[in-house]
Amino acid sequence: MSIARASAIMIVTLVASRVLGWLRLSVIGAHFGETPDLDAYLAAFKIPDAIFGLVVAGALASA
C-alpha cells in the first residue's frame, strides 16, 4: 500500500469520526436539551469512556 493511499484512508477515517461525533452530540443535545439530565448523562458517560481509553492505551503501549 502506498503512503498516499494510507494517508487518504486515515484522512477519510478521521473526517468520518469527527462527523459522526458531531452528529452524536447533536442528537443527544436535541433529546435532552439544556437540562440537568444532559449533565447527568454526560457525567455517567465519562466513566466508561475513561476506562475504555485506559484499556486501549494500555493495549497499544504493550503492542
Residues 39 and 62 in one domain: yes
* Dihedral pair phi/psi, residue 35, rounded to 5°: -125, 165
Note the pLDDT of residue 22: 96
Residues 17 and 40 in one domain: no
CA-wise closest residue to 45 among 59, 25, 30, 19: 25
Residues 23 and 4 in one domain: yes
pLDDT beyond 80 at 56 = yes
Instruction: State which residues form the domain around 13.
Output: 1-32
The alpha carbons of the chain give a radius of gyration, in whole angstroms, of 16
**Dihedral Cα 14, 26, 55, 6, nearest 10 deg:** -10
Question: What is the distance between the alpha carbons of residues 28 and 42, in angstroms, rounded to a whole number?
Answer: 10
Residues 19 and 39 in one domain: no
> Number of structural domains, the chain?
2
Note the pLDDT of residue 62: 80
Please write the tens of the pLDDT for every residue from 9-54: 999 999 999 999 999 999 988 998 889 988 998 899 899 989 998 9
Contact call for residues 50 and 60 (beta carbons, < 8 A): no
